[in-house]
Structure 1
């Protein structure tokens, strides 16, 4: 979804130079997609074409080998015989948004999330991070109130969803695990007043900024939609193959592609 990919692009320049404020330019000439976007594309293709996600992840990884993959995942991409490696990194949640977008029920959102996650991130915390994100996105598209989604995530997954963005910001640090980034990212969206506000929340807490903004952005699009000018600016940085795949996904669900106005 453009919500996730735009968050990744905006957060790309802040990942290693955190900006603990909501005041910053959304885009610069250095803003570009990272592994979050590449893996999201792979998941979209897997679900649209009913292909093993291991195949599409390795296909897209081979096409974009220098996108900043984590160490173990990078090894997995290069080794077709390598099984899941018990990861609970936030890579599970950064790529899962199409599962919530394309699902026709909450059960399907959960099942699809597990399907596209377990090929690598088969640790229970990795699965939980992906399922929580996919479920939140699906519920938002069904019109559930942010407070109801927050309660569902807290009760279902045991995440601490009680802190505000202002309470998270002072102590939050770089954390690439699902337990240490998914609840914070979801909070950034659930507390927001718009798509842009969710992204500003996500960047402002610091940490693994591109992934936190990617996760927050995926939920924020489901909650608020997103301004076409922001989506179009993100689309400008994508390859033609990516644009075509995104258009297919929105068309598949009869939803307006926000990059097209």
Structure 2
């Protein structure tokens, strides 16, 4: 399930979102360290969208209701006020929040057009900048492609068509070796989605995907949430990673129930 891949990526990536050691031994460190991991706003909003789709409830109302339960889970300032203010209107954001929360859309819809339409809808409630919408659509589409047995090369080619090398600083065309030394923490969709998908592209299983995320000084929980769903669908699970144990340990009962429903 892509939603599990996204939530796991968020939890594992949260360890190095901030205060990442300069010389992190990302190839050999334990995958999870006591006291560092947690769920963030990425999981909260991804699961809010899942709840809305599963229960056929209003999307915005559900995002607000779920979001208000976790006021300190890491929202950006504008999205915090989107949830807690009186008006819940889009604010032209190109931030990666639209991509981090869309995993279940790529999993839920078998119809390609419906999947893309709903990916736009889940973005546009707040992140209605063209890049915010694109980030959501690309993420959901990559998940959909992985679920429907498209090859890694086909997924790469699709992402490249949306983020060409000539126009995007962190296009998927650049290898991780090429961007490691120059990548800077970036909260935009255009600075996050193609690089996160490159982490998937260069992986061989879910764990190596996460370690690729660890290798960059990036918004690592969101990278995990963006491409974690693709990795889970493509590899058909988590391999030796104890995903269920991590979910049970790090999610509260409310979020765990939404995830497992």
How large is the Cα RMSD of the aligned pairs? 1.5
1:34-63, Cα deviation, whole Å (9 max, x unpaired): 111111111101111222221111111111
1:99 aligns with: 105
1:251 aligns with: none
1:164-208, Cα deviation, whole Å (9 max, x unpaired): 122221111100000011100011012210011111101111211
1:101-133, Cα deviation, whole Å (9 max, x unpaired): 101122122111111111000000000000000
Tell me how far apart the structure 2 counterparts of residues 29 and 176 of structure 1 sit (CA, whole Å): 26
TM-score in terms of structure 1 length: 0.90
1:148 aligns with: 154
1:25 aligned onto 2:27: no
1:49 aligned onto 2:41: no
> 5 Å matches for 1:110-129?
110-129=116-135
1:241 aligns with: 254
1:15 aligns with: 17
Structure 2 residue runs of 5 or longer lacking an equivalent are none
Secondary structure, counterpart of 2:54 in structure 1: helix
Tell me how far apart the structure 2 counterparts of residues 136 and 23 of structure 1 sit (CA, whole Å): 28
1:258 aligns with: none
The change in CA–CA distance for 1:168 and 1:230 in structure 2 (over 3 A counts) is farther
Tell me how far apart the structure 2 counterparts of residues 147 and 43 of structure 1 sit (CA, whole Å): 29
The change in CA–CA distance for 1:228 and 1:2 in structure 2 (over 3 A counts) is farther
Secondary structure, counterpart of 1:29 in structure 2: coil
2:243 aligns with: 231
1:180 aligns with: 191
2:95 aligns with: 89
TM-score in terms of structure 2 length: 0.90
Tell me how far apart the structure 1 counterparts of residues 76 and 127 of structure 2 sit (CA, whole Å): 12
Task: Figure out how many residues of one structure are paired with residues of the other and give that number.
Answer: 248
The change in CA–CA distance for 1:107 and 1:156 in structure 2 (over 3 A counts) is farther
| Farther off after superposition, 80-89 or 63-72 | 80-89
Q: 1:5 aligns with which of 1, 4, 7?
A: 7
Shift of 1:227: 2.9
Shift of 1:228: 6.5
Q: 2:43 aligns with which of 37, 56, 72?
A: 37
Asked if the contact 1:203/1:212 (under 8 Å) is kept, the reply is no
Tell me how far apart the structure 1 counterparts of residues 72 and 198 of structure 2 sit (CA, whole Å): 30
Structure 1 residue runs of 5 or longer lacking an equivalent are 249-261
Tell me how far apart the structure 2 counterparts of residues 191 and 106 of structure 1 sit (CA, whole Å): 25
